[in-house]
Amino acid sequence: TTKDETPIIAKSGVPVVAEQRKIANADEYYCFVRERILTALCDLPKKEQGTAYLMLTIASDGQLENIEVEDARSSVSTEFKQIIIQTVSRLTPFPNFPSDIAKEKISIAIPATFSEP
């Protein structure tokens, strides 16, 4: 933040402070990624109702290795699935893994429910 505590916004639209923040443990990491994604998806136009089941694979350096919206369980259109994937892809990279995640990559499942206004 600046001296007047106004957040500096990065290209992804997320305050820089949040992007550079040190995450202490695995639980905090999962919550941070989930909240960051759901916050971004809340800003999408409310043109559809339904649920999208996202599956992400994230590398230890925070890079998004894979993202998909599960067809079998999701109830949003193919077009909206693509918008969701593009939106989440723009949020990367995520922070590096905290020290208690000793894996090279992790998978995270996130359900996102959409309703018309």
Taking only the tens of pLDDT, the chain with its 117 residues reads 333 443 334 444 544 444 456 788 999 999 999 999 999 999 888 788 999 999 999 999 999 999 999 999 999 999 999 999 999 999 999 999 999 999 999 999 999 999 876
Cα 59 to Cα 33: distance, rounded to the nearest angstrom: 13
92: nearest Cα among 8, 13, 1, 21: 13
Helix (H) or strand (E) holding 84: helix 78-89
**Euclidean distance between CA atoms 54 and 98, whole angstroms:** 22
Phi/psi of residue 29, nearest 5 degrees: -65, -50
